[in-house]
Amino acid sequence: ITTSGVRRIQSLAPRLANQIAAGEVVERPSSVVKELVENAIDAGSSRIEIELESGGSRLIQVRDNGSGIEHDDLGLALSRHATSKITSLDDLEGVASLGFRGEALAATSAVSRLELYSNTSDDPVNGWRVVAEGREMAPRLSPAPHPRGTTVTVRDLFFNTPARRKFLRTEKTEFNHVEEAFRRLALSRQDVDLVLRHNQKTVHQLMGGNSQAAMEKRIAQLLGRSFLENAIHIDMAATGLALKGWVGLPSHTRSQADQQYFFVNGRVIRDRLVAHAVRQAYRDVLFHGRHPVFVLYLDLDAHGVDVNVHPTKHEVRFRDGRLVHDFLFSSLHRALAEVRPNERTAPEP
Ligand code: ADP
Ligand code: MG
């Protein structure tokens, strides 16, 4: 404070700036899992293994067999606004990767004990390890064997931000959030092998495959057999738009909107326009207070959708919202109209 009583302006120390920014990206263990698995997917991995202890508050480890990170980039990977995924505004407007903000690793490492192993070669001895712990800003690099790919280990999430740590719920609740994030990721990329372990137990083990049968098997494992037994398969296209997936029969609804998965260009989203189109399509066939189930994939040109709306990227903005809404509504409406009337009665008990 100066003699005039006005507080002086100071730049925040990078670590503090990262901790503040972490508030937007890292809410709980499931957010870390989402970000790390998205990175693994962006790196072209065909197999991703997730290991947790204590709902993720003690340990989150994500191991992939993707491209790895070049030695000279390892320090940058952990710093804020550093990304290999875009270099210009043009890139952003057509972005196809899940990440592009260059924030997740910086934010996570600011609020946990983070270790990263990576190797871009097929010889395991060429691996490197980076640690970012405590107040240290410059990450330390040392040689460490690792197969091609990357492993990120996040221990003691929020250990240095007690106010945040207090918001963590029970181990079971946190794990449930992680499992839901896992379901979304697993449904978004059926071609990738995915393993989820919690406290040394395998909870999910999914083999990747591109066939319809592989996808149905995956859905059954993630959402239960009854999902597909009571769903209509959809495969529709219009100019520049494609919609695929499954929507539940009006007779197979739920009391909560907890089995609704909507992907836009491989990214799970929550969108009011989408929700509205679905509600309209079901309007005449659904009982009050019941919610339909669906797993739907909408694909359109990347330029037709803005994904840079929110740090978690769960929201999007469609360039032509009207067109998307009407296409969704008419596709679902048509599919539901083909259902036999006796399948349109009474909700399940
Ligand atoms: P973003 O994903 O938005 O680029 P991140 O902070 O999540 O930002 O990651 C920073 C950079 O680190 C990425 O752009 C990528 O180059 C590299 N990276 C992170 N995780 C991986 C991974 N699992 N495999 C290969 N590269 C990775
Ligand atoms: Mg990322």
CA of 315 to the centre of ligand 1 (A): 21
Ligand 1 atom closest to the Cα of residue 68 is 25
Higher-confidence position of 326 and 22: 326
How far is the C-alpha of 96 from the C-alpha of 74, rounded, in Å? 23
CB-based neighbours (< 5 A) of ligand 2, an ion = 39, 99, 104
Ligand with minimal distance to 68 CA: 1
| pLDDT on residue 14 | 81
342: confidence class by pLDDT, cuts 50, 70, 90: low
Q: Which atom of ligand 1 is nearest to the CA of 77?
A: 12
Nearest to 287 by CA among 339, 349, 228, 345: 345
**Binning pLDDT at 50, 70 and 90, where does residue 215 land?**
very high
Domain annotation for the chain: domains and CATH numbers? 14-206 (3.30.565.10), 224-343 (3.30.230.10)
Could you tell me the distance, in angstroms and rounded to a whole number, from the CA of residue 77 to the centre of ligand 1? 6
Q: What is the pTM assigned to this prediction?
A: 0.93
Mutate to test the pocket of ligand 1, among 25, 39, 42 (most ligand atoms within 8 A of CB): 39
Length of the chain: 349
Which tens digits make up the pLDDT trace of 226-252? Answer: 999 999 999 999 989 999 999 999 999
Q: What is the mean pLDDT of residues 134-162?
A: 89
Residue 338's pLDDT band (cuts 50, 70, 90) = confident
Mean pLDDT of the 275-293 span: 92
Cα 234 to averaged position of ligand 2 atoms, centre (Å): 31
Q: Is residue 144 pLDDT above 90, yes or no?
A: yes
Please provide the DSSP assignment of 245-267 as one string. Answer: EEEE-TTS-BSSS-SEEEEETTE
Compute the mean pLDDT over every residue in the chain, rounded to the nearest whole number.
Answer: 92
pLDDT of residue 138: 72
Tell me the C-alpha to C-alpha distance, in Å, between residue 109 and each of 11, 116, 288.
Answer: 20, 10, 46
Residue 268 forms beta bridges with which residues? Answer: 263
Strands 128-132, 47-53: pairing kind: unpaired
Instruction: Give the pLDDT confidence score for residue 347 in this predicted structure.
Output: 54
pLDDT-derived band at 346 (thresholds 50, 70, 90) equals low
Q: What is the ipTM of this complex?
A: 0.99
Pocket of ligand 1 (CB under 6 A): 35, 39-40, 43, 64, 66-69, 77, 83-85, 99-106, 150
Burial class (CB in 10 A: 0-12, 13-18, 19+), 220: middle
Compute the average pLDDT of residues 88-96: 88
Q: What is the structure's pLDDT at 18?
A: 85
pLDDT > 90: percent of the chain: 78
- Give the mean pLDDT of 38-62: 98
Burial class for 296, CB neighbours closer than 10 Å (0-12, 13-18, 19+): buried
- Cα 82 to averaged position of ligand 2 atoms, centre (Å): 10
Instruction: Give the per-residue SS3 of 318-338.
Output: ECCHHHHHHHHHHHHHHHHHC
Nearest CA to ligand 1 atom 8: 102
Per-residue pLDDT, 340: 64
Q: Looking at residue 153, what is its pLDDT?
A: 98
Report the pLDDT value the prediction gives residue 345, as an integer from 0 to 100. 52
154 and 57 Cβ atoms separated by less than 8 Å = no
Closest atom of ligand 1 to 64 CA is 23
Residue holding tokens 């997730």? 50
Cβ-based neighbours of 63, under 8 Å, separated by 6 or more: 48, 49, 50, 51, 149, 150, 151
| Å from CA of 101 to ligand 1 middle | 10
Distance 100 CA to ligand 1 centre (A): 9
